[in-house]
């Protein structure tokens, strides 16, 4: 369907963890669990991924 | 020919206001391809399906919103006219879904062109090179002869509002990185102007009301950040509406004109303690916390008078106060499930501690991008929300409905019915915010100048011509 326009518009920090124990401490809350879950994918080429997002300004 | 039988404007309760939000999305192709692919090319593929049904990349949808590609290849979504905050939040979130739903088709087209990659859309305000794009807020206000002074009075509120409604961001400087309230603050260059791409004002004063110009103007605020959390949107638009209501009633209102507006917005943005002072034209030195508390107290004084004491108003004022308190006491847990900057601060600091890295580490920049990714599956914000780490204002069902249905209580309803009927009938049509026309009919254009009017016999006639039933409001 052609659609045209009749007018011109362009328009805590959290409570610190207990002192690091020598062995891995189990995650105790949902945020830690979530960060553990996504950690792997965020670390893959993080710098390249960030740098490749360049777009001219808008508005 | 424009029909001349335009109905008289409705007599509108002053508490009723038309709102709209425009969001420019960041568009990012993550691809290992060796050939460089421009954002314009990606946007072209992304909008292929839109052009197929609308023969344009600039269309109005059945939910009465506008979808297009803006300057810089930014997909942009403008909500339809809403007269309630919950409708507005639903319409805004519906826009995220609508643009997100274009991704699969866009990636398929890219693959067909030999480019394997993943398209990400971000509801944020800066790319990695520091280019800025916006989230524009629209508030219909009654026309007045002193509009510039009126708008100017709003600036100290807008400049300090970021301590509660800012999106929060990591700011990188040669001296190191720090967390700031607002990514937009550093991109503002003047208080008011009628230009946007050239000058970046906080309020755009172009006189384009999309309504009866004898009665209305549009307050077009472009200093705000795009925000993810529903409570942040409620506070951003809700508090601004309440401040405007007092100003429009010409009631007693704080006079807090700032001596150096551009300096003030930056100083406030970069001081998470809320203790930085800004100078007023009368010589006083106040903090952003004091400025916001003054506005909040002024609004509260009118509750029960100019402002009806609804549950929604109370929830806005409660969140506003907790946001100010969080900055004043530095106890961010007061708002860490409701206000964007505090939600994001919590996540960034937690991940930083996990990685044991500096704040300028690229993995934290990567985390920020994930936070603003609008994918309901992949986006970090939505994963936080589904884990119950972000408070909701509306339901997923309300958002689903807003994807296909226009707001029912404003002019948007008429546009939505018209677009839906024309598409169903397979007829060509012309539409914008104030006009409806069936191409090749008798040339009749219906002019809808009253954004509060949600029923109109002239539109019923058009619907009849499209074979759709007239649609009286139930």
The complex scores an ipTM of: 0.91
- What average pLDDT does range A11-36 have in this prediction? 59
Whether B366 is in a domain gets the answer yes
Are B348 and B418 members of one domain?
Answer: no
Q: B418 versus A19: which is more confidently predicted?
A: B418
Contacts of B77 (CB under 8 A, 6+ apart): B22, B23, B25, B65, B66, B67, B95, B96, B98, B99
In a domain, B400, yes or no: no
Cross-chain CB nearest to A53 (options B26, B72, B200): B26
At A22 the pLDDT is 40
Q: Does one domain contain both B280 and B427?
A: no
Cα B208 to chain centroid distance, Å, stands at: 18
Q: Give me the pLDDT at residue B371, please.
A: 98
Phi and psi angles of residue B77, each rounded to the nearest 5 degrees, phi first = -130, 125
Q: How many CA atoms lie within 13 A of A47 on its CB side?
A: 2
The structural domain count of chain B equals 2
**pLDDT value of position B332:** 98
Q: What is the pLDDT of residue A8?
A: 39
Per-residue model confidence (pLDDT) at position A4: 57
Copy the structure tokens of residue B362. Answer: 């690229």
Mutate to test the interface with A, among B131, B201, B362, B422 (most CBs of A within 10 A): B362
Give CA–CA dist B366/B348, Å, rounded: 10
Nearest Cα of chain A lies from the Cα of B42 at a distance, in angstroms, of: 11
pLDDT for position A21: 41
Q: How many residues are listed for chain B in this entry?
A: 474
> Given B5, B13, B30, B70, which residue is catalytic?
B70
Q: Of B320, B350, B372, which closes a domain?
A: B372
Alpha-carbon gap, residue B354 to B363, rounded angstroms = 11
In a domain, B120, yes or no: no
Residue of B nearest to A35 (CA): B351
Percent of chain A with pLDDT over 70: 51
Which parts of chain B have pLDDT scores under 70? 1-5, 196-198, 443, 474
Does B44 fall in a domain? no
- B145 within 8 A of B223, measured Cβ to Cβ: no
The answer to whether residue B58 neighbours chain A at the CB level (below 8 Å) is: yes
The reply to whether B4 and B152 lie within a common domain is no
**Domain identity same for B431 and B325:** no
Q: Is B70 one of the catalytic residues?
A: yes
Contact B100, B399 (CB under 8 A): no
Together in a domain, B430 and B325: no
Between residues 182 and 241 of chain B, which touch chain A (CB distance below 8 Å)?
196-197, 200, 208, 222
CB-nearest partner of B54 from A3, A32, A58: A3
How close A38 gets to chain B, by Cα (Å)?
A: 9
B315 & B434 share domain:
no
Structure confidence at residue A1 (pLDDT): 47
The answer as to whether B273 is a domain residue is yes
pLDDT of residue B198: 67
B309 and B164 both lie in a single domain: yes
User: Quick one: B241 and B320 in the same domain?
Assistant: yes
Q: Is residue B381 part of a domain?
A: no
Q: Which of A6, A50, A58 comes nearest B70 by C-beta?
A: A58
Do B351 and B301 fall into the same domain? yes
User: Is residue B42, in this structure, part of any structural domain at all?
Assistant: no
The Cα of B253 is separated from the nearest Cα of chain A by a number of Å equal to: 31
Residues B234 and B330 in one domain: yes
Chain B residues within an 8 Å CB radius of A34: 380, 383-384, 387, 389
For residue B166, the enclosing domain spans: 133-183+212-372
Q: Are residues B349 and B279 in the same domain?
A: yes
Q: Are B146 and B254 part of one and the same domain?
A: yes
């Amino acid at each position: 369907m052609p659609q045209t326009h009749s007018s011109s518009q362009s328009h805590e920090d959290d409570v610190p963890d207990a002192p690091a124990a020598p062995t891995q401490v189990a995650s105790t809350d949902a945020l830690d669990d979530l960060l553990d879950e996504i950690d792997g994918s965020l670390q893959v080429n993080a710098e390249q991924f960030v740098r490749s997002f360049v777009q001219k300004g808008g508005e | 020919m424009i029909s001349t039988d335009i109905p008289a404007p409705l007599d509108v309760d002053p508490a009723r206001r038309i709102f709209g939000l425009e969001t420019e999305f960041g568009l990012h192709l993550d691809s290992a391809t060796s050939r460089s692919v421009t954002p314009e090319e990606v946007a072209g593929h992304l909008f292929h399906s839109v052009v197929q049904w609308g023969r344009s990349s600039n269309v109005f949808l059945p939910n009465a919103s506008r979808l297009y590609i803006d300057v810089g290849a930014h997909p942009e979504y403008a909500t339809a006219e809403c007269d309630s905050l919950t409708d507005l939040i639903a319409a805004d979130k519906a826009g995220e879904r609508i643009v997100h739903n274009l991704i699969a088709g866009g990636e398929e087209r890219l693959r067909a062109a030999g480019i394997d990659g993943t398209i990400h859309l971000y509801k944020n305000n800066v790319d990695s090179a520091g280019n800025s794009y916006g989230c524009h807020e629209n508030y219909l206000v009654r026309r007045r002869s002193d509009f510039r002074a009126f708008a100017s009075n709003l600036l100290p509120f807008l400049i300090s509002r970021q301590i509660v409604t800012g999106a929060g961001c990591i700011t990188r400087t040669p001296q190191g990185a720090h967390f700031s309230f607002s990514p937009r603050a550093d991109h503002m260059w003047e208080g008011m102007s009628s230009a946007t791409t050239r000058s970046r004002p906080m309020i755009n004063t172009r006189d384009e009301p999309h309504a009866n110009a004898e009665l209305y103007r549009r307050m077009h605020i472009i200093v705000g950040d795009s925000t993810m959390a529903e409570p942040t949107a409620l506070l951003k638009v809700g508090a601004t509406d309440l401040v405007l209501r007092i100003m429009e009633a010409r009631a007693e209102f704080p006079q807090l004109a700032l001596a150096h507006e551009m300096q003030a917005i930056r100083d406030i943005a970069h001081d998470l303690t809320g203790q930085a002072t800004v100078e007023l034209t009368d010589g006083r030195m106040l903090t952003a916390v004091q400025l916001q508390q003054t506005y909040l107290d002024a609004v509260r004084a009118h509750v029960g008078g100019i402002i009806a004491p609804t549950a929604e108003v109370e929830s806005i004022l409660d969140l506003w106060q907790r946001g100010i308190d969080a900055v004043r006491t530095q106890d961010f847990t007061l708002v860490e499930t409701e206000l964007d900057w505090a939600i994001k601060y919590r996540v960034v600091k937690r991940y930083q501690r996990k990685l044991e890295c500096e704040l300028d580490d690229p993995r934290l920049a990567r985390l920020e991008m994930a936070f603003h990714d609008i994918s309901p599956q992949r986006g970090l914000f939505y994963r936080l929300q589904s884990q119950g780490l972000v408070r909701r204002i509306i339901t997923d069902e309300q958002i689903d409905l807003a994807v296909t249905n226009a707001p029912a209580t404003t002019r948007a309803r008429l546009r939505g019915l018209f677009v839906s009927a024309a598409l169903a009938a397979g007829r060509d049509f012309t539409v914008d915010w104030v006009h409806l026309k069936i191409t090749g009919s008798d040339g009749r254009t219906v002019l809808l100048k009253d954004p509060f009017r949600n029923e109109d016999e002239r539109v019923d006639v058009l619907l009849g011509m499209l074979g759709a039933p007239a649609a009286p409001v139930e």
